[in-house]
């Protein structure tokens, strides 16, 4: 399994017991969807390695306590500490309406109600306080904040997202 075929679920953040249990901080709004997992992929070096779950429990909303098979000591737990946890994309719950996963809209066209065709989404920048659509318009990079009030419609069939941005926002990127 490769990272491109998976989604990031969380990270192992600390040990829970001397018997190899670890705590995974889940990166999801719906942690309860993942409480009955049989296995996950653990990122070790540049590889995703399957780990089977003996037992698990959800605590403190996004904290997931896990006992993996063959992780039976503090030393075993130390070996996977801070590792990323992944699941196959096929396990993502389907979203409808204007909700979407970031990876799902790469390559979609953005059209603005007032401006018209803006360009193609090349990536999502979620390192800032507000996630941004990164859009390529004939070699010019345009950023549009991913604000619910801006997003009018996500059309998966036609691979477009209709937005209505404040007047002049897109023009800021196009004027010299």
Print the domain residue range for 122: 102-174
Q: Is residue 96 part of a domain?
A: no
Nearest-angstrom CA–CA distance, 54 and 38: 8
Nearest-angstrom CA–CA distance, 161 and 156: 8
Predicted confidence at residue 129, as pLDDT, reads: 85
Strands 160-163 and 109-112: parallel
Say how far residue 61 (Cα) sits from the centre of its chain. Answer: 18
Q: Is residue 97 part of a domain?
A: no
> pLDDT under 50 in the chain at which residues?
none
pLDDT one-digit tens code per residue, 59-98: 877 899 999 999 999 999 999 999 999 999 888 888 888 8
The domain that holds 144 is classified in CATH as 2.30.30.240
Q: Is residue 11 part of a domain?
A: yes
Q: Same domain, yes or no, for 82 and 31?
A: yes
Predicted confidence at residue 5, as pLDDT, reads: 87
**Domain boundary at 39, 64, 91, which?**
91
Predicted confidence at residue 50, as pLDDT, reads: 96
């Amino acid at each position: 399994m490769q990272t491109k075929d998976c989604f990031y679920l969380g990270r192992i953040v600390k040990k829970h017991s001397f018997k190899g249990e670890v705590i995974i901080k889940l990166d999801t709004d719906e942690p309860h969807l993942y409480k009955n997992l049989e296995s996950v992929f653990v990122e070790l070096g540049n590889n995703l390695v399957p780990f089977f779950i003996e037992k698990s429990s959800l605590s403190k909303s996004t904290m997931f306590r896990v006992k993996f098979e063959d992780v039976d000591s503090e030393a075993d737990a130390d070996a996977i500490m801070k590792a990323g946890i992944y699941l196959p994309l096929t396990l993502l719950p389907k979203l409808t309406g204007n909700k979407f996963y970031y990876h799902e809209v790469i390559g979609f066209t953005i059209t603005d109600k007032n401006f018209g065709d803006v360009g193609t989404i090349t990536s999502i920048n979620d390192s800032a306080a507000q996630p941004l659509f990164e859009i390529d318009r004939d070699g010019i990079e345009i950023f549009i904040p991913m604000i619910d009030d801006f997003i009018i419609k996500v059309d998966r069939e036609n691979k477009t997202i209709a937005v209505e941005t404040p007047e002049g926002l897109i023009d800021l990127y196009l004027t010299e």
